[in-house]
């Protein structure tokens, strides 16, 4: 279990002591992501994340920042999502103070050098180009656009080429000023650490950080009343498809049943989709299901890469598996197998110091009133019944809620419309 201290400025510091380890995982979670952006700000969260690594007042170059961590054998990186931006590092326990110092320096004193901004702008545009040129990434972007049309959730987290081209230094600094404030940040540390020592160190470095008031995001609603389809022509040897339906928000009472249902459907080589689509029918090399849970909405979907000549067969087979979950209760044996699969993966993950830091830190940021231990999650999974899984499948897998995105050598959408029936 973690220990938490909140500084006077609102900064939350969490530590989890793992005395048997020789490493320290450190994660800074900032409560901002792409859904907080207006159309003109699209990509700002991601752009800022990149710039954090490009130099500080004390370490003026990206090389000096990287050398400070890698010079002691550590690793570090960052990621921007829809609701959270995370910066993290993992180092040997004796070098904890080095990692904390570097991460705080990046957070508090980034230079945003105009020359580096211009260079990084083109790096990000190339990142966007890569997504647009990579069919299995593009199809996920298209399914998001179908799920949340005309909403920030439907955009690429990196923004668009046009929006990134227009973002200037002042716009990035103004955006950062609203969200990079101590009351909107959680620092989580796990490994061979002692709580008070970490708190003392971070208080010295961040105790004078002035809090502010963050802006909220644009709420999303599920107002879908008919199937949605998007076909993107690309001259490829393989067709990429995503099927999705609206899912559950982050704290929905059925969220644990959703984890079990998703595992049964498409996680691992013993899942229904893998056995039916790949092993039995030979329709796909890669097929899996996924879920996304946000503060107010969510999605549940399936991804597959298939032969263009057999894509209709693949779509029908996937929808048939969704329908089977609605019509037939899963067996107790299959339910138990899915639960144990999910619990086993979770417990294995918790042997890593960064994973533990991330587990508690992200929950503290996103669901501060309900931070669960791994044991509590395991207990909730054990409560999921056969009836829960079937009831949830009947609620989610509804014909008028279907979304289908396809990338491949197809000129017309009409040939796919008849497939969108459940």
Closest CA to 52 of 39, 35, 65, 70: 65
Task: Answer positive or negative: Cα dihedral of 357, 359, 364, 369.
Answer: negative
Measured CA to CA, the distance from residue 18 to residue 151 in angstroms comes to 42
Cβ-proximal residues to 96 (8 Å cutoff; 6+ apart), any chain: 24, 26, 189, 191, 193, 198
Q: What is the DSSP string of 63-76?
A: HHHHHHHHTTT-EE
Per the CB < 8 A criterion, the answer to whether 107 and 28 are in contact is yes
* 49 annotated active-site: yes
Q: How far is CA 255 from CA 143, 145, 298, 300, 384, in A?
A: 22, 24, 10, 12, 10
Question: What does the DSSP 8-state code read for residue 29?
Answer: E
How many helices and strands in the chain, by DSSP H and E?
16, 11
Give Dmax over CA atoms of the chain in angstroms: 64
Rounded distance, CA 34 to CA 243, Å?
A: 23
Per the CB < 8 A criterion, the answer to whether 178 and 216 are in contact is no
Helix (H, G, I), strand (E, B), or coil: what is residue 164? helix
Burial 56-93 (b: 16+ CB within 10 A, else e): beebeebeebeebbeeeebebebebbbbbbbbbbbbbe
Spatial CA neighbour of 11 closest among 33, 31, 26: 31
Q: Which residue among 49, 116, 120, 267 is the active-site one?
A: 49
d(CA 128, CA 150) in angstroms, rounded, equals 19
Q: Which sequence positions are flagged as catalytic?
A: 49
């Amino acid at each position: 279990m973690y220990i938490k201290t909140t500084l006077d400025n609102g900064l939350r510091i969490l530590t989890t002591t793992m005395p048997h380890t020789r490493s320290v995982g450190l994660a800074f979670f900032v409560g901002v992501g792409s859904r907080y952006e207006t159309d003109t700000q699209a990509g700002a969260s991601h752009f800022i994340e990149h710039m954090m690594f490009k130099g500080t007042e004390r370490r003026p170059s990206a090389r000096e920042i990287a050398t400070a961590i890698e010079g002691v054998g550590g690793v570090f990186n960052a990621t921007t999502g829809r609701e959270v931006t995370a910066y993290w590092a993992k180092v040997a326990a004796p070098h904890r103070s080095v990692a904390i110092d570097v991460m705080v320096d990046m957070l508090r004193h980034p230079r945003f050098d105009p020359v580096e901004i211009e260079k990084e702008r083109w790096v990000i545009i190339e990142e966007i180009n890569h997504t647009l040129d990579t069919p299995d990434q593009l199809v996920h972007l298209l399914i998001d656009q179908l799920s949340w049309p005309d909403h920030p959730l439907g955009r690429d987290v990196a923004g668009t080429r046009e929006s990134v081209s227009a973002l200037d230094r002042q716009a990035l600094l103004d955006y950062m000023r609203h969200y990079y404030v101590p009351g909107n940040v959680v620092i989580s540390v796990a490994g061979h650490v002692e709580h008070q020592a970490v708190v003392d160190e971070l208080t010295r470095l961040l105790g004078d950080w002035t809090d502010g008031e963050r802006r909220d995001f644009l709420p999303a609603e599920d107002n879908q009343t008919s199937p949605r389809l998007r076909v993107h022509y690309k001259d490829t040897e393989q067709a990429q498809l995503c099927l999705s339906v609206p899912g559950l928000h982050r704290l929905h009472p059925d969220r644990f049943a959703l984890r079990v249902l998703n595992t049964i459907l498409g996680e691992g080589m013993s899942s229904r989709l893998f056995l039916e689509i790949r092993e039995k029918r030979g329709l796909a090399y890669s097929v899996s299901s996924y879920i996304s849970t946000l503060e107010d909405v969510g999605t549940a979907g399936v991804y597959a890469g298939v032969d263009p000549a057999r894509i209709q067969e693949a779509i029908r087979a996937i929808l048939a598996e969704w329908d089977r979950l609605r019509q037939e209760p899963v067996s107790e044996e299959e339910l138990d197998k899915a639960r144990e699969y999910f619990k086993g993966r979770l417990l294995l993950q918790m042997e890593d110091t960064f994973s533990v830091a991330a587990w508690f830190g992200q929950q503290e940021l996103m669901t501060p009133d309900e931070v669960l231990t791994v044991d509590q999650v395991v207990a909730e999974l054990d409560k999921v019944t056969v009836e829960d899984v079937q009831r949830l499948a009947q609620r989610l897998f509804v014909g008028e809620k279907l979304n289908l995105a396809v990338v491949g050598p197809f000129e017309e959408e009409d040939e796919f419309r008849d497939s969108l029936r459940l």
